[in-house]
A = this chain, B = another copy of it.
Protein backbone atom coordinates (compact mmCIF):
# COMPACT_ATOMS: atom_id res chain seq x y z
CA UNK A 1 0.00 0.00 0.00
CA UNK A 2 2.96 2.27 0.45
CA UNK A 3 3.65 3.06 -3.20
CA UNK A 4 1.54 6.11 -3.91
CA UNK A 5 2.96 7.80 -6.97
CA UNK A 6 1.09 10.33 -8.99
CA UNK A 7 0.82 9.37 -12.62
CA UNK A 8 1.74 12.16 -14.98
CA UNK A 9 -0.93 12.82 -17.56
CA UNK A 10 -3.81 11.21 -15.65
CA UNK A 11 -5.69 14.14 -14.14
CA UNK A 12 -7.81 13.63 -11.03
CA UNK A 13 -9.80 16.26 -9.18
CA UNK A 14 -10.61 16.96 -5.59
CA UNK A 15 -14.36 16.83 -4.80
CA UNK A 16 -14.73 20.60 -5.08
CA UNK A 17 -12.95 20.60 -8.44
CA UNK A 18 -14.99 17.67 -9.67
CA UNK A 19 -18.10 19.86 -9.18
CA UNK A 20 -16.69 22.15 -11.87
CA UNK A 21 -16.00 19.27 -14.25
CA UNK A 22 -19.43 17.78 -13.59
CA UNK A 23 -21.02 21.15 -14.29
CA UNK A 24 -19.27 21.31 -17.67
CA UNK A 25 -20.31 17.75 -18.50
CA UNK A 26 -23.93 18.36 -17.45
CA UNK A 27 -24.12 21.59 -19.44
CA UNK A 28 -22.79 19.94 -22.58
CA UNK A 29 -25.14 16.99 -22.26
CA UNK A 30 -28.12 19.27 -21.67
CA UNK A 31 -27.26 21.39 -24.72
CA UNK A 32 -26.72 18.39 -26.95
CA UNK A 33 -30.05 16.86 -25.89
CA UNK A 34 -31.84 20.17 -26.39
CA UNK A 35 -30.71 19.92 -30.01
CA UNK A 36 -32.00 16.36 -30.35
CA UNK A 37 -28.73 14.43 -30.12
CA UNK A 38 -28.99 10.95 -28.58
CA UNK A 39 -26.39 9.92 -26.03
CA UNK A 40 -24.43 6.73 -26.53
CA UNK A 41 -21.37 5.16 -24.93
CA UNK A 42 -19.00 2.77 -26.58
CA UNK A 43 -16.71 0.31 -24.82
CA UNK A 44 -13.23 1.58 -23.91
CA UNK A 45 -11.39 -0.94 -26.07
CA UNK A 46 -11.26 -1.66 -29.79
CA UNK A 47 -9.46 -4.26 -31.83
CA UNK A 48 -5.97 -2.97 -32.46
CA UNK A 49 -6.18 -3.49 -36.20
CA UNK A 50 -9.36 -1.43 -36.41
CA UNK A 51 -7.87 1.32 -34.28
CA UNK A 52 -4.63 1.50 -36.21
CA UNK A 53 -6.02 1.77 -39.72
CA UNK A 54 -4.56 5.27 -39.75
CA UNK A 55 -0.91 4.35 -39.45
CA UNK A 56 0.32 7.61 -38.03
CA UNK A 57 -1.17 7.31 -34.57
CA UNK A 58 0.12 3.89 -33.58
CA UNK A 59 2.66 5.32 -31.16
CA UNK A 60 -0.10 6.86 -29.11
CA UNK A 61 -2.09 3.73 -28.43
CA UNK A 62 -2.31 1.81 -25.15
CA UNK A 63 -2.50 -1.92 -25.74
CA UNK A 64 -4.62 -3.90 -23.29
CA UNK A 65 -4.06 -7.54 -22.43
CA UNK A 66 -5.20 -9.93 -19.74
CA UNK A 67 -2.30 -10.54 -17.35
CA UNK A 68 -3.00 -14.25 -17.63
CA UNK A 69 -4.10 -14.43 -21.24
CA UNK A 70 -4.27 -17.94 -22.61
CA UNK A 71 -4.31 -19.45 -26.08
CA UNK A 72 -8.08 -19.05 -26.41
CA UNK A 73 -7.76 -15.31 -25.94
CA UNK A 74 -7.19 -14.07 -29.47
CA UNK A 75 -8.36 -10.49 -29.11
CA UNK A 76 -5.69 -7.88 -29.65
CA UNK A 77 -7.21 -4.94 -27.87
CA UNK A 78 -6.26 -1.34 -27.22
CA UNK A 79 -7.87 1.63 -25.47
CA UNK A 80 -9.61 4.02 -27.88
CA UNK A 81 -7.72 7.27 -28.49
CA UNK A 82 -10.72 9.27 -29.69
CA UNK A 83 -14.49 8.81 -29.99
CA UNK A 84 -14.73 8.99 -33.78
CA UNK A 85 -13.22 5.60 -34.58
CA UNK A 86 -15.38 3.78 -31.98
CA UNK A 87 -18.42 5.65 -33.30
CA UNK A 88 -17.66 4.53 -36.85
CA UNK A 89 -17.45 0.93 -35.61
CA UNK A 90 -20.70 1.35 -33.62
CA UNK A 91 -22.49 2.66 -36.71
CA UNK A 92 -21.34 -0.28 -38.83
CA UNK A 93 -22.20 -2.77 -36.09
CA UNK A 94 -25.69 -1.36 -35.48
CA UNK A 95 -26.55 0.09 -38.89
CA UNK A 96 -29.71 -1.99 -39.18
CA UNK A 97 -31.02 -0.72 -35.87
CA UNK A 98 -30.29 3.01 -36.17
CA UNK A 99 -32.40 5.73 -37.79
CA UNK A 100 -30.43 7.77 -40.35
CA UNK A 101 -29.50 10.59 -40.30
CA UNK A 102 -28.30 9.59 -36.84
CA UNK A 103 -27.40 12.40 -34.46
CA UNK A 104 -25.43 11.30 -31.44
CA UNK A 105 -23.38 12.79 -28.64
CA UNK A 106 -20.78 10.84 -26.75
CA UNK A 107 -18.94 12.04 -23.65
CA UNK A 108 -16.23 9.65 -22.53
CA UNK A 109 -12.63 9.25 -21.51
CA UNK A 110 -10.05 8.50 -24.16
CA UNK A 111 -6.44 7.43 -23.73
CA UNK A 112 -3.27 8.28 -25.62
CA UNK A 113 0.02 6.62 -24.87
CA UNK A 114 1.97 9.88 -24.91
CA UNK A 115 5.52 9.75 -23.66
CA UNK A 116 5.33 10.43 -19.94
CA UNK A 117 7.81 13.29 -20.19
CA UNK A 118 5.92 15.42 -22.70
CA UNK A 119 3.39 16.87 -20.27
CA UNK A 120 0.28 15.96 -22.26
CA UNK A 121 -2.77 14.25 -20.89
CA UNK A 122 -2.72 10.50 -21.34
CA UNK A 123 -6.30 10.09 -20.08
CA UNK A 124 -8.86 12.77 -20.83
CA UNK A 125 -12.53 13.38 -21.52
CA UNK A 126 -13.86 14.28 -24.95
CA UNK A 127 -17.40 15.41 -25.73
CA UNK A 128 -18.33 14.71 -29.34
CA UNK A 129 -21.35 15.42 -31.48
CA UNK A 130 -21.66 13.85 -34.91
CA UNK A 131 -24.34 13.41 -37.51
CA UNK A 132 -23.95 10.43 -39.79
CA UNK A 133 -26.12 9.42 -42.71
CA UNK A 134 -26.23 6.62 -45.25
CA UNK A 135 -24.75 7.24 -48.73
CA UNK A 136 -25.28 11.03 -48.68
CA UNK A 137 -25.33 13.63 -45.92
CA UNK A 138 -27.05 17.00 -46.24
CA UNK A 139 -24.71 19.98 -45.88
CA UNK A 140 -27.38 21.44 -43.58
CA UNK A 141 -25.67 19.61 -40.75
CA UNK A 142 -22.45 21.53 -41.43
CA UNK A 143 -24.47 24.65 -40.58
CA UNK A 144 -26.23 23.07 -37.61
CA UNK A 145 -23.30 21.60 -35.70
CA UNK A 146 -21.37 24.83 -35.00
CA UNK A 147 -24.61 26.38 -33.72
CA UNK A 148 -24.97 23.56 -31.21
CA UNK A 149 -21.43 24.24 -30.03
CA UNK A 150 -22.15 27.99 -29.90
CA UNK A 151 -25.10 27.23 -27.59
CA UNK A 152 -22.90 24.97 -25.47
CA UNK A 153 -20.23 27.62 -24.97
CA UNK A 154 -22.88 30.26 -24.29
CA UNK A 155 -24.35 27.98 -21.61
CA UNK A 156 -20.88 27.41 -20.14
CA UNK A 157 -20.43 31.18 -19.96
CA UNK A 158 -16.64 31.13 -20.11
CA UNK A 159 -16.13 34.33 -22.02
CA UNK A 160 -15.71 34.60 -25.77
CA UNK A 161 -15.14 31.36 -27.63
CA UNK A 162 -14.54 31.83 -31.32
CA UNK A 163 -14.86 29.17 -33.97
CA UNK A 164 -12.68 29.49 -37.08
CA UNK A 165 -14.17 27.81 -40.09
CA UNK A 166 -12.98 26.91 -43.57
CA UNK A 167 -14.22 24.64 -46.32
CA UNK A 168 -12.11 22.13 -48.10
CA UNK A 169 -14.06 22.38 -51.36
CA UNK A 170 -13.45 26.12 -51.35
CA UNK A 171 -9.70 25.74 -50.84
CA UNK A 172 -9.24 22.77 -53.16
CA UNK A 173 -11.46 24.40 -55.81
CA UNK A 174 -9.36 27.55 -55.59
CA UNK A 175 -6.08 25.62 -55.93
CA UNK A 176 -7.43 23.72 -58.93
CA UNK A 177 -8.47 27.04 -60.44
CA UNK A 178 -4.83 28.16 -60.41
CA UNK A 179 -3.59 24.81 -61.74
CA UNK A 180 -2.27 23.31 -58.52
CA UNK A 181 -2.68 19.52 -58.54
CA UNK A 182 -1.42 18.53 -55.11
CA UNK A 183 -3.82 20.39 -52.84
CA UNK A 184 -2.83 18.26 -49.84
CA UNK A 185 0.77 19.52 -50.00
CA UNK A 186 -0.42 23.14 -50.04
CA UNK A 187 -2.69 22.46 -47.04
CA UNK A 188 0.25 21.11 -45.08
CA UNK A 189 2.27 24.28 -45.69
CA UNK A 190 -0.64 26.70 -45.10
CA UNK A 191 -1.22 24.89 -41.80
CA UNK A 192 2.12 26.32 -40.63
CA UNK A 193 1.20 29.91 -41.41
CA UNK A 194 0.62 31.01 -37.81
CA UNK A 195 3.84 29.36 -36.70
CA UNK A 196 6.38 30.38 -39.35
CA UNK A 197 4.77 33.33 -41.15
CA UNK A 198 3.88 33.97 -44.82
CA UNK A 199 7.45 34.41 -46.11
CA UNK A 200 8.59 30.99 -45.00
CA UNK A 201 5.37 29.40 -46.22
CA UNK A 202 6.01 31.04 -49.61
CA UNK A 203 9.49 29.43 -49.60
CA UNK A 204 7.98 26.01 -48.90
CA UNK A 205 5.42 26.46 -51.67
CA UNK A 206 8.15 27.52 -54.08
CA UNK A 207 10.22 24.49 -53.10
CA UNK A 208 7.24 22.35 -54.07
CA UNK A 209 7.35 23.86 -57.56
CA UNK A 210 4.65 26.52 -57.27
CA UNK A 211 5.19 29.71 -59.24
CA UNK A 212 5.54 32.97 -57.34
CA UNK A 213 2.08 33.95 -58.61
CA UNK A 214 0.53 30.68 -57.42
CA UNK A 215 2.14 31.03 -53.99
CA UNK A 216 0.98 34.61 -53.78
CA UNK A 217 -2.59 33.58 -54.58
CA UNK A 218 -2.51 30.76 -51.99
CA UNK A 219 -1.31 33.20 -49.33
CA UNK A 220 -3.86 35.80 -50.42
CA UNK A 221 -6.64 33.22 -49.99
CA UNK A 222 -5.28 32.19 -46.57
CA UNK A 223 -5.25 35.80 -45.39
CA UNK A 224 -9.00 36.21 -45.84
CA UNK A 225 -11.25 36.15 -42.80
CA UNK A 226 -14.66 37.65 -42.06
CA UNK A 227 -17.56 37.24 -39.68
CA UNK A 228 -20.06 37.67 -42.51
CA UNK A 229 -20.50 36.78 -46.17
CA UNK A 230 -18.06 39.48 -47.23
CA UNK A 231 -15.36 36.83 -47.52
CA UNK A 232 -17.07 35.65 -50.71
CA UNK A 233 -16.37 38.94 -52.49
CA UNK A 234 -12.81 38.95 -51.20
CA UNK A 235 -12.25 35.50 -52.71
CA UNK A 236 -13.96 36.53 -55.95
CA UNK A 237 -11.63 39.55 -56.14
CA UNK A 238 -8.71 37.11 -56.51
CA UNK A 239 -10.18 36.24 -59.92
CA UNK A 240 -10.21 32.46 -59.62
CA UNK A 241 -13.09 30.38 -61.08
CA UNK A 242 -14.44 26.87 -60.70
CA UNK A 243 -17.49 24.78 -59.78
CA UNK A 244 -15.93 23.22 -56.68
CA UNK A 245 -14.84 26.68 -55.51
CA UNK A 246 -18.39 27.97 -56.00
CA UNK A 247 -19.81 25.06 -54.05
CA UNK A 248 -17.39 25.64 -51.19
CA UNK A 249 -18.09 29.38 -51.12
CA UNK A 250 -21.81 28.76 -50.98
CA UNK A 251 -21.52 26.18 -48.20
CA UNK A 252 -19.26 28.35 -46.09
CA UNK A 253 -21.47 31.40 -46.69
CA UNK A 254 -24.46 29.47 -45.33
CA UNK A 255 -22.54 28.51 -42.19
CA UNK A 256 -21.36 32.07 -41.61
CA UNK A 257 -24.75 33.68 -42.28
CA UNK A 258 -26.65 31.35 -39.96
CA UNK A 259 -24.08 31.79 -37.20
CA UNK A 260 -24.02 35.59 -37.58
CA UNK A 261 -27.73 35.61 -36.79
CA UNK A 262 -27.85 32.85 -34.19
CA UNK A 263 -24.63 33.43 -32.32
CA UNK A 264 -23.20 36.86 -33.21
CA UNK A 265 -19.43 37.03 -32.83
CA UNK A 266 -18.98 33.29 -32.38
CA UNK A 267 -18.01 32.17 -35.85
CA UNK A 268 -15.49 33.54 -38.30
CA UNK A 269 -14.72 32.36 -41.83
CA UNK A 270 -10.94 31.95 -41.68
CA UNK A 271 -9.49 30.64 -44.91
CA UNK A 272 -6.13 29.62 -43.47
CA UNK A 273 -7.68 26.84 -41.35
CA UNK A 274 -6.30 23.64 -42.83
CA UNK A 275 -6.81 21.05 -40.10
CA UNK A 276 -6.61 17.38 -40.98
CA UNK A 277 -7.62 18.17 -44.51
CA UNK A 278 -6.53 14.78 -45.75
CA UNK A 279 -9.77 13.15 -44.58
CA UNK A 280 -12.11 16.10 -44.21
CA UNK A 281 -14.10 16.86 -47.34
CA UNK A 282 -16.23 19.92 -46.55
CA UNK A 283 -16.45 22.37 -43.68
CA UNK A 284 -13.65 22.26 -41.09
CA UNK A 285 -13.74 23.86 -37.66
CA UNK A 286 -11.35 24.98 -34.91
CA UNK A 287 -12.25 26.90 -31.76
CA UNK A 288 -10.20 29.09 -29.44
CA UNK A 289 -11.16 30.66 -26.14
CA UNK A 290 -10.30 34.37 -25.98
CA UNK A 291 -7.49 34.95 -23.50
CA UNK A 292 -6.59 31.27 -23.58
CA UNK A 293 -5.23 30.92 -27.09
CA UNK A 294 -2.27 28.91 -25.77
CA UNK A 295 -4.68 26.07 -25.02
CA UNK A 296 -4.98 25.57 -28.76
CA UNK A 297 -8.25 24.47 -30.27
CA UNK A 298 -10.77 23.40 -27.63
CA UNK A 299 -13.32 22.19 -30.18
CA UNK A 300 -12.43 20.87 -33.63
CA UNK A 301 -13.85 18.78 -36.37
CA UNK A 302 -15.27 18.77 -39.83
CA UNK A 303 -17.10 16.93 -42.52
CA UNK A 304 -15.83 13.62 -43.83
CA UNK A 305 -17.52 11.83 -46.70
CA UNK A 306 -16.47 8.45 -45.42
CA UNK A 307 -16.82 8.14 -41.66
CA UNK A 308 -17.37 4.44 -42.11
CA UNK A 309 -17.91 1.90 -44.85
CA UNK A 310 -18.70 -1.79 -44.89
CA UNK A 311 -17.76 -2.18 -48.52
CA UNK A 312 -21.36 -1.86 -49.74
CA UNK A 313 -22.62 1.20 -47.91
CA UNK A 314 -20.70 4.36 -47.09
CA UNK A 315 -21.59 6.54 -44.12
CA UNK A 316 -20.67 10.23 -44.50
CA UNK A 317 -20.62 12.37 -41.38
CA UNK A 318 -19.81 15.68 -39.80
CA UNK A 319 -18.59 16.02 -36.25
CA UNK A 320 -17.16 18.30 -33.63
CA UNK A 321 -15.18 17.26 -30.57
CA UNK A 322 -14.68 19.31 -27.41
CA UNK A 323 -11.52 18.66 -25.39
CA UNK A 324 -13.24 18.72 -22.02
CA UNK A 325 -10.28 17.87 -19.78
CA UNK A 326 -8.05 20.48 -21.40
CA UNK A 327 -10.76 23.08 -20.84
CA UNK A 328 -11.65 21.96 -17.31
CA UNK A 329 -8.00 21.81 -16.33
CA UNK A 330 -7.68 25.47 -17.30
CA UNK A 331 -10.92 26.47 -15.55
CA UNK A 332 -9.76 24.81 -12.35
CA UNK A 333 -6.10 25.79 -12.60
CA UNK A 334 -6.89 29.46 -13.02
CA UNK A 335 -9.95 29.31 -10.76
CA UNK A 336 -12.05 30.74 -13.56
CA UNK A 337 -14.92 28.69 -12.20
CA UNK A 338 -15.26 27.53 -8.60
CA UNK A 339 -17.84 25.51 -6.66
CA UNK A 340 -20.04 27.19 -4.07
CA UNK A 341 -19.18 24.40 -1.63
CA UNK A 342 -17.23 21.17 -1.40
CA UNK A 343 -20.16 18.85 -0.78
CA UNK A 344 -23.71 18.56 -2.17
CA UNK A 345 -25.13 19.00 1.33
CA UNK A 346 -27.30 22.07 2.03
CA UNK A 347 -28.30 21.17 5.59
CA UNK A 348 -26.51 19.38 8.42
CA UNK A 349 -28.95 18.10 11.00
CA UNK A 350 -27.26 18.26 14.41
CA UNK A 351 -27.59 15.38 16.88
CA UNK A 352 -28.38 16.36 20.47
CA UNK A 353 -27.41 13.00 21.94
CA UNK A 354 -27.03 9.53 20.45
CA UNK A 355 -30.28 8.34 22.05
CA UNK A 356 -32.12 10.93 19.98
CA UNK A 357 -30.29 10.38 16.67
CA UNK A 358 -33.43 8.94 15.10
CA UNK A 359 -35.17 12.30 15.62
CA UNK A 360 -32.45 13.92 13.51
CA UNK A 361 -32.76 11.15 10.92
CA UNK A 362 -36.47 11.92 10.61
CA UNK A 363 -35.83 15.61 9.98
CA UNK A 364 -33.26 14.69 7.32
CA UNK A 365 -35.69 12.32 5.65
CA UNK A 366 -38.33 15.02 5.51
CA UNK A 367 -35.94 17.56 3.98
CA UNK A 368 -34.68 15.02 1.43
CA UNK A 369 -38.24 14.21 0.40
CA UNK A 370 -38.34 17.80 -0.84
CA UNK A 371 -35.02 17.42 -2.70
CA UNK A 372 -32.92 19.26 -0.12
CA UNK A 373 -29.52 17.53 0.16
CA UNK A 374 -29.13 16.74 3.84
CA UNK A 375 -26.67 15.00 6.13
CA UNK A 376 -27.07 14.03 9.76
CA UNK A 377 -24.10 14.84 11.99
CA UNK A 378 -21.98 11.72 12.46
CA UNK A 379 -21.43 12.54 16.13
CA UNK A 380 -23.38 13.99 19.04
CA UNK A 381 -20.43 16.21 19.93
CA UNK A 382 -20.90 19.72 21.31
CA UNK A 383 -22.89 21.86 18.90
CA UNK A 384 -19.83 24.05 18.29
CA UNK A 385 -18.02 21.02 16.92
CA UNK A 386 -20.99 19.99 14.80
CA UNK A 387 -21.20 23.52 13.38
CA UNK A 388 -17.50 23.28 12.57
CA UNK A 389 -18.21 20.04 10.64
CA UNK A 390 -20.63 22.03 8.47
CA UNK A 391 -18.39 25.08 8.22
CA UNK A 392 -15.33 23.16 7.00
CA UNK A 393 -17.40 21.67 4.17
CA UNK A 394 -19.22 24.88 3.24
CA UNK A 395 -22.62 23.47 4.29
CA UNK A 396 -24.71 26.65 4.75
CA UNK A 397 -27.33 25.48 7.28
CA UNK A 398 -27.32 23.56 10.57
CA UNK A 399 -30.60 22.23 11.91
CA UNK A 400 -31.20 21.82 15.64
CA UNK A 401 -33.82 19.39 16.91
CA UNK A 402 -35.12 20.93 20.13
CA UNK A 403 -37.23 19.41 22.90
CA UNK A 404 -40.90 18.80 22.07
CA UNK A 405 -40.17 19.03 18.35
CA UNK A 406 -39.14 22.67 18.58
CA UNK A 407 -36.84 22.94 15.58
CA UNK A 408 -34.46 25.74 14.71
CA UNK A 409 -32.22 26.31 11.72
CA UNK A 410 -29.04 28.37 11.71
CA UNK A 411 -27.53 29.99 8.63
CA UNK A 412 -23.91 29.63 9.68
CA UNK A 413 -22.77 32.33 7.26
CA UNK A 414 -24.91 35.07 8.84
CA UNK A 415 -25.33 33.45 12.24
CA UNK A 416 -29.08 33.98 11.98
CA UNK A 417 -31.10 31.27 13.73
CA UNK A 418 -34.85 30.90 13.30
CA UNK A 419 -37.63 28.45 14.14
CA UNK A 420 -38.35 26.04 11.28
CA UNK A 421 -40.69 23.22 10.36
CA UNK A 422 -39.07 20.17 8.72
CA UNK A 423 -42.20 19.66 6.60
CA UNK A 424 -42.12 23.11 5.01
CA UNK A 425 -38.75 24.86 5.45
CA UNK A 426 -37.06 25.42 2.09
CA UNK A 427 -33.73 27.07 1.29
CA UNK A 428 -33.31 29.43 -1.62
CA UNK A 429 -32.63 27.63 -4.89
CA UNK A 430 -29.10 29.08 -4.89
CA UNK A 431 -28.43 27.45 -1.51
CA UNK A 432 -30.20 24.18 -2.21
CA UNK A 433 -27.77 22.76 -4.74
CA UNK A 434 -24.04 23.15 -5.02
CA UNK A 435 -23.36 25.34 -8.03
CA UNK A 436 -20.45 26.95 -9.79
CA UNK A 437 -19.47 30.60 -9.82
CA UNK A 438 -17.71 32.29 -12.71
CA UNK A 439 -14.84 34.53 -11.75
CA UNK A 440 -15.49 38.10 -12.90
CA UNK A 441 -13.91 38.63 -16.30
CA UNK A 442 -10.99 40.97 -15.73
Minimal Cβ-Cβ distance residue in B for A104: B15
Chain B residues in 8 Å Cβ range of A288: none
Chain B nearest CB from A58 CB (Å) reads 6
- The segment from A66-74, A209-217, A228-236 that touches chain B is A66-74
A59-B64 in contact (CB<8A)? no
- CA separation between A334 and B7, bound complex, in Å? 42
The complex is assembled from copies of this chain, and their number is 2
Interface string of A346-387 (1 = CB under 8 A from B): 000000000001100100010010011111101100000000
- CA separation between A317 and B417, bound complex, in Å? 34
A3-B50 in contact (CB<8A)? yes
Minimal Cβ-Cβ distance residue in B for A65: B63
**A97 on the B face (CB < 8 A):** yes
Minimal Cβ-Cβ distance residue in B for A131: B378
- Contact check: which of B4, B10, B92, B308 meets A310 at CB < 8 Å? B4
B140-A357 in contact (CB<8A)? yes
Most buried by B among A67, A94, A372, A392: A67
Is chain A's binding surface mostly helix, strand, loop or mixed? Answer: mixed
Interface string of A1-41 (1 = CB under 8 A from B): 11111110011111100110110000000000111111111
- Contact check: which of B49, B258, B342 meets A99 at CB < 8 Å? B342
Chain B residues in 8 Å Cβ range of A11: 43
User: Number of residues in A with C-beta < 8 Å to the partner?
Assistant: 103
Minimal Cβ-Cβ distance residue in B for A95: B4
**A439 on the B face (CB < 8 A):** no
- Contact check: which of B44, B70, B111 meets A123 at CB < 8 Å? B44
- Contact check: which of B12, B18, B43, B50 meets A38 at CB < 8 Å? B18
- CA separation between A79 and B99, bound complex, in Å? 34
**A332 on the B face (CB < 8 A):** no
**A424 on the B face (CB < 8 A):** no
- CA separation between A36 and B13, bound complex, in Å? 18
- Contact check: which of B19, B115, B310, B372 meets A1 at CB < 8 Å? B310
Supposing A43-B10, A63-B64 touch, asked if A36 and B379 sit within 8 A by C-beta, the answer is no
Rank and list the top 5 A-B pairs by shortest CB-CB distance, nearest first: A66-B113, A36-B375, A36-B345, A15-B38, A33-B344
